[in-house]
Amino acid sequence: MSLCVRNILFNSTKVQRCFITRYSSKTNIMKREPLVITKNGELRGCIKKLLDGTEYYSFKGIPYAQPPVGKLRFKAPLPAKPWEGVYDALKHGPISPQFDAQTRQVKEGSEDCLYLNVYTKSIETSTKGPVMVFIHGGGFISGSGNTDLYGPEFLLQHNVVLVTINYRLEVLGFLNLDIAEVPGNAGMKDQVLALRWIQENINDFGGDSNNVTIFGESAGAASVTYHMVSPMSRNLFHKVIAQSGVCTANWAQGVDGKNRAFRLCKLLGNETRDPNEALTFLQSVPAIDLVGKTFKTITSDERHRGLPMHFCPNIEKKYGHNEVFLPEDPEQAFLNCNSVNVPLMIGYNSKEGLILISTESKKIEYRNKNPSSFVPREIYNIVNDDKLKEIGQRIKEFYFGGQDITMEDAEKICDLQSDLYFTYPIHYFIELYAKNTLPVYMYSFNYDTDLNFFKNWMGASDIKGAAHVDELFYIFCCALNRDYYEENEILRSIINNVTRLWTDFAKNGNPVSSSAINWQPYTIKNKEYLNIDKSMAFGTYVDQKRIEFWKKMYKEAGLHRTRSNL
The answer to whether 121 and 130 are in contact (CB under 8 A) is no
CATH architecture observed for domain 30-340: 3-Layer(aba) Sandwich (3.40)
CA angle 166, 169, 174 (to 5 degrees): 125
Mean per-residue pLDDT, 109-119: 98
What is the distance of C-alpha 491 from the center of its chain? 25
The answer to whether 373 and 305 are in contact (CB under 8 A) is yes
Q: CA distances (Å), 379 to each of 53, 259, 374, 387, in order?
A: 54, 22, 10, 10
- 463, with CB counted inside 10 A (0-12, 13-18, 19+), is middle
Q: What is the DSSP secondary-structure string of 161-200?
A: EEEEE----HHHHH---SSSS--S-HHHHHHHHHHHHHHH
What residues contact residue 262 under an 8 Å CB cut-off, 6+ apart? 271, 272, 273, 278
> Lowest-confidence range among 48-52, 359-363, 494-498, 551-555?
359-363
* Closest alpha carbon to 553 in 382, 426, 348: 382
Dihedral through CA 317, CA 318, CA 324, CA 327, nearest 10?
50
Produce one character per residue of 405-414: b if its CB has 16 or more CB atoms within 10 Å, e if not.
Answer: beeebbbbbb
* Torsion sign, CA atoms 377, 379, 383, 387: negative
pLDDT of residue 102: 74
* Closest alpha carbon to 106 in 151, 169, 174, 61: 169
pLDDT of residue 25: 57
Cross-strand partners of 31: 22
The letter for the amino acid at 155 is L
Q: Does the pLDDT of residue 188 top 60, yes or no? A: yes
Percentage above 90 pLDDT, the chain: 87
pLDDT tens by residue, 261-274 = 999 999 999 999 99
Residue 271 bears catalytic tag: no
Q: Does the pLDDT of residue 175 top 50, yes or no? A: yes
Which of 144, 218, 233, 373 is flagged as catalytic?
Answer: 218
Mean per-residue pLDDT, 494-505: 98
Which of 227, 238, 468, 560 is flagged as catalytic?
Answer: 468
What residues contact residue 400 under an 8 Å CB cut-off, 6+ apart? 409, 412
pLDDT band (50, 70, 90) for residue 9: very low
The answer to whether 345 and 498 are in contact (CB under 8 A) is no
Q: Which of 84 and 29 is assigned the larger pLDDT?
A: 84
- Phi, psi (degrees; rounded to nearest 5) at 64: -110, -5
pLDDT tens by residue, 426-453 = 999 999 999 878 899 999 999 999 999 9
pLDDT band (50, 70, 90) for residue 358: confident
What gap in Å lies between CA 225 and CA 246, rounded to an integer? 6
pLDDT tens by residue, 276-334 = 999 999 999 999 999 999 999 999 999 999 999 999 999 999 999 999 999 999 999 99
Mean per-residue pLDDT, 185-197: 98
The answer to whether 432 and 426 are in contact (CB under 8 A) is no
pLDDT of residue 21: 66
> E strands of 301-398, at which residues?
344-349
pLDDT band (50, 70, 90) for residue 23: low
Residue 209 bears catalytic tag: no
Cross-strand partners of 57: 47, 120
pLDDT band (50, 70, 90) for residue 368: very high
Mean per-residue pLDDT, 113-140: 97
**What is the total residue count of the chain?**
566
pLDDT of residue 65: 98
Residue 468 bears catalytic tag: yes
Which of 153, 170, 331, 352 is flagged as catalytic?
Answer: 352
Sheet holding 2-10, edge to edge: 2-10, 15-24, 29-37, 42-44, 86-88
What gap in Å lies between CA 334 and CA 450, rounded to an integer? 39
What gap in Å lies between CA 416 and CA 400, rounded to an integer? 10
pLDDT tens by residue, 84-112 = 999 999 999 999 999 987 778 899 999 99
Mean pLDDT of the chain: 93
3-class SS of residue 215: strand
Mean per-residue pLDDT, 227-244: 98
Percentage above 70 pLDDT, the chain: 94
Q: Does the pLDDT of residue 4 top 90, yes or no? A: no
3-class SS of residue 250: helix
- Phi, psi (degrees; rounded to nearest 5) at 394: -65, -35
What gap in Å lies between CA 475 and CA 501, rounded to an integer? 10
- Could you tell me the residue ranges of all domains in the chain? 30-340
CA angle 429, 430, 436 (to 5 degrees): 115
H/E run at residue 556: helix 544-556
* Closest alpha carbon to 522 in 507, 534, 514, 511: 511
H/E run at residue 243: strand 239-243
pTM for this entry: 0.95
